[in-house]
Copies of this chain bind each other. A is one copy, B any other.
Amino acid sequence: MTEDNKNEDSEKLQSYLQRVIALLSKYKLLEGFVHLQDDQDKTLADSSVQKKNLDELQQLLDKLHPADIAHILEALPLEDRLIIWGMVKPEYDGEVLLEASDAVRETLITDMGSQELVAAAEQLNADEIADLAPDLPQDVIEDVFRSLPIAEREQLRAAMSYPEDSVGALMDFDVITVREDVRIEVVLRYLRRLEELPDHTDQLFVVDREEHLKGVLLISKILVSDPDTLVENVMSREIITLRPGDKAQDAAYAFERYDLVSASIIDHDKKLLGRVTVNTVIDYIREKSENEALNLAGLREEEDLFAPVLKSVKNRWVWLAVNLVTAFVASRVIGLFEDSIEKLVALAALMPIIAGIGGNSGNQTITMIVRALALDQINSGSAWKLIRKEIGVSIVNGLIWGAVVGMFTFAIYQNIELGLVMMLAMLLNLLLAALLGVLIPMTLRKFGRDPALGSSVLITAVTDSGGFFIFLSLATLFLL
């Protein structure tokens, strides 16, 4: 990576991708051409052109950062992806696997032999191997395990034991520890003996003989302190500590609020176990928010853009099935009123308006509440205030939009009563949406479920069936 390569980063990356694709397609074209013709001279000439293309491609790949290679692999259809993957420097294999998304990683691992996989894993730290482990075949994990030094085996075992979404799963073991009774000068000499510091070392951890955490010594403090000072005089004792069992989400909030670069992880005895660094936290935040967006749209997990059709179907069917059930229920609600619709067919054309706007409004409320719940901003005292507010909003909206749909109805059907029924139904369905938009996520939360999952499906189900029921029964009561 030269400075030029890195400047205007994203455009470069895009152009790398274009170049890879261009070189690859030239290569494949020639490959086909060679097979087609059996003329010896032609083959030789083409081979040399092809070789040039391949060399150029290889050079391009060799100078890319593993994260960029992973990005390019994600953007390529399976066949091309595997050609490029075969050309990646073996010493990058481990890091590229780490950087790739779960779905794409799977396709890359499937393409590798056990030995290659063991070699790739051995390039990584224990905490990184633990991240890959769920995707690796059992025999590869065992081989990797045997190849590790004892200390790292213990680390790998520990790292693999923490549940996903816990701080332990984000932990790394690259900590530098010092004692509190030494002088800064000694620390400096000690550091100089190391050839380099672990990435994201913004602080050293001050521990006693039993590894109990006493404080942290900021790197910047080392630099500005007199070399003769004792560590205990410049270390910070007010530190942020995490436990391996804490929720990863809470660690992310701590990094966000207190602007951390790294934070210590301790056990119940205050013994230092490891640390979390900001790069891991960023990856976690990004992945979490992406998964939320995917789940909201009814995709179970991140999908390889070029996944085979049946794999995609599997990733999407649950949501469609759930929605089909709620649609059947709504359909039966309408079925109850078939007599009314037969008498006044306009009802059929108007009812989706009430259901649709109710769903939109309910989803607005739910989004607000889910977000506030995630940030722990709602307590029993404020819940009532929120319900009152949302009901206020829905009354105002109900009157405004109710009047609009009422007038629309009158304009089309020249029927004042029908317009009034539309208006009333709109108001009532928005009230229902507001009330349940607050209560559904709060109830899910109360029963220990994640309110972000399922709230939206539930509210839409309620405002659909509820909207049809409210509108059609009002119409039956007042118009028929």
A364 vs B295: C-alpha distance when bound (angstroms)? 9
A289 vs B296: C-alpha distance when bound (angstroms)? 13
Would you call A3 and B238 a contact (CB within 8 A)? yes
A1 vs B7: C-alpha distance when bound (angstroms)? 40
A375 vs B17: C-alpha distance when bound (angstroms)? 12
The stretch that binds B, out of A36-44, A69-77, A442-450, is A69-77
Q: Mark A375-395, 1 if CB is under 8 A from B, else 0.
A: 111110110011001001100
Would you call B386 and A305 a contact (CB within 8 A)? yes
Would you call A401 and B320 a contact (CB within 8 A)? yes
Would you call B243 and A224 a contact (CB within 8 A)? no
- Nearest to A259 among chain B residues (CB) is B279
Interface size on A, residues (CB 8 A): 146
A367 vs B290: C-alpha distance when bound (angstroms)? 10
- Nearest to A1 among chain B residues (CB) is B238
Would you call A197 and B224 a contact (CB within 8 A)? yes
Partner of A188, one of B202, B223, B259, B293: B223
A363 near B: Cβ within 8 Å?
A: yes
Number of copies: 2
Partner of A375, one of B74, B371, B375: B74
A352 near B: Cβ within 8 Å?
A: yes
Contacts of A226 in B (CB 8 A): 192
- Nearest to A194 among chain B residues (CB) is B224
Would you call B239 and A6 a contact (CB within 8 A)? yes
Q: Mark A351-370, 1 if CB is under 8 A from B, else 0.
A: 11101110011011011100
Would you call A191 and B224 a contact (CB within 8 A)? yes
A342 vs B386: C-alpha distance when bound (angstroms)? 44
Contacts of A257 in B (CB 8 A): 65, 67-68, 71, 99
Contacts of A3 in B (CB 8 A): 237-239, 241
Would you call A392 and B191 a contact (CB within 8 A)? no
* A255, A356, A376 pick with most chain B CB within 10 angstroms: A356
> How many whole Å from A285's CB to the nearest CB in chain B?
6
Q: Mark A230-266, 1 if CB is under 8 A from B, else 0.
A: 0000000111111100110111011111110100000
Q: Mark A96-120, 1 if CB is under 8 A from B, else 0.
A: 0001000000000000000000000
Would you call B297 and A328 a contact (CB within 8 A)? no
Q: A306-B389, A381-B21 are in contact. Are A349 and B364 (CB under 8 A)?
A: no
Would you call B353 and A240 a contact (CB within 8 A)? no
Would you call A320 and B77 a contact (CB within 8 A)? no
A269 near B: Cβ within 8 Å?
A: no
Q: Mark A15-56, 1 if CB is under 8 A from B, else 0.
A: 001100100010000000000000000000000000000000
- Nearest to A101 among chain B residues (CB) is B375
A415 near B: Cβ within 8 Å?
A: no
Would you call B224 and A290 a contact (CB within 8 A)? no
Would you call A385 and B246 a contact (CB within 8 A)? no
A313 near B: Cβ within 8 Å?
A: yes
A309 vs B387: C-alpha distance when bound (angstroms)? 11
- Nearest to A249 among chain B residues (CB) is B10
Q: A298-B364, A316-B397, A408-B328 are in contact. Are A71 and B375 (CB under 8 A)?
A: yes
A59 near B: Cβ within 8 Å?
A: no
The stretch that binds B, out of A83-91, A128-136, A147-155, A329-337, is A329-337
Could you give 30 example pairs across A and B, Cβ below 8 Å? Answer: A3-B237, A9-B242, A18-B379, A75-B378, A191-B224, A192-B223, A255-B282, A285-B289, A293-B293, A293-B371, A294-B371, A297-B366, A305-B372, A305-B382, A306-B382, A310-B396, A312-B393, A316-B393, A317-B400, A320-B357, A320-B360, A323-B360, A327-B356, A328-B353, A330-B356, A331-B352, A332-B412, A335-B346, A338-B348, A348-B348
Q: A9-B250, A25-B381, A299-B364 are in contact. List 10 more A-B contacts (CB 8 A).
A: A7-B243, A67-B257, A196-B221, A200-B261, A256-B283, A259-B279, A281-B282, A323-B357, A327-B352, A328-B353
